[in-house]
Amino acid sequence: GIQVEQSPPDLILQEGANSTLRCNFSDSVNNLQWFHQNPWGQLINLFYIPSGTKQNGRLSATTVATERYSLLYISSSQTTDSGVYFCAVGSSNTGKLIFGQGTTLQVKP
Amino acid sequence: ETGVTQTPRHLVMGMTNKKSLKCEQHLGHNAMYWYKQSAKKPLELMFVYNFKEQTENNSVPSRFSPECPNSSHLFLHLHTLQPEDSALYLCASSRGWDNEKLFFGSGTQLSVL
């Protein structure tokens, strides 16, 4: 099955800093989503981005499907950005989403 | 608020108990899912329902029994669980079952004693 690898596993930032999170996947996909899980467990869908670039406020994401990776950019980070960021991918073969291990982000004031 | 509501938020049960988790979505979606999130592990898909029909059972033990009476409601019935079943159980929904944006509930944190 598809393998999903996220990096870095952990990240500590000072408030106001920028960061880039990476998601590599091992096979062709036609579904890629980024999620943020807050410290209380709630998962919020940030982007549905099987290809191309999208922006939503301070967050943006780019997926280069031909090279099998996606990047999530966080600019001017805030303490509320803390939590775990998951990348999940799906292929036309299964319709199931496979989740990566996540990147744990801590933003310090 | 994601439009997907799960109850209860926390549950403690003994190994001989029977309990149920409930999920309701207010988004008009047709597909609903149960995921399990254990500490230090990625989210694992358990079950998928599309238009009330189960389309995926990801080799889940029979002590977990899902029920989907309609497209808006999903239950997970629990019976004779083991301590290693302690985890965060997440419900999700999407417009269709394949390659659609997923919306999650806030989860039920389950502890099995």
* Interface with A, mutate which of B102, B106, B108 (most A CBs under 10 A): B102
Neighboring chain B residues of A35 at a CB cutoff of 8 Å: 102, 104
Q: pLDDT band at residue B21, thresholds of 50, 70 and 90?
A: very high
Q: Is A9 left (phi over 0), alpha (psi -120 to 50) or beta?
A: alpha
Alpha carbon distance B110, B86 (integer Å): 5
Neighboring chain B residues of A31 at a CB cutoff of 8 Å: 99-100
Residue B96 has pLDDT above 90, yes or no: no
Confidence at residue A37, expressed as pLDDT on a 0 to 100 scale: 95
Confidence at residue A94, expressed as pLDDT on a 0 to 100 scale: 58
How much of chain B, in percent, has pLDDT values that exceed 70? 99
Confidence at residue B92, expressed as pLDDT on a 0 to 100 scale: 95
Distance from CA of B41 to the nearest CA of A (A): 6
Confidence at residue A93, expressed as pLDDT on a 0 to 100 scale: 57
φ and ψ at B85, to 5 degrees? Answer: -80, -5
Q: Which residue in this structure is represented by tokens 């191309």? A: A52
The residues facing A105 across adjacent strands are A11, A83
Q: Parallel, antiparallel, or unpaired: how do β-strands A103-108 and A52-56 relate?
A: unpaired
pLDDT in tens, B24-78: 999 999 999 999 999 878 899 999 998 888 888 888 999 999 999 999 999 999 9
pLDDT in tens, A49-108: 999 999 999 999 999 999 999 999 999 999 999 999 999 998 865 558 899 999 999 999
Mean pLDDT value of segment B96-111: 89
Measured between its terminal Cα atoms, the distance across chain A in Å is 41
Alpha carbon distance B106, B37 (integer Å): 12
Alpha carbon distance A99, B35 (integer Å): 11
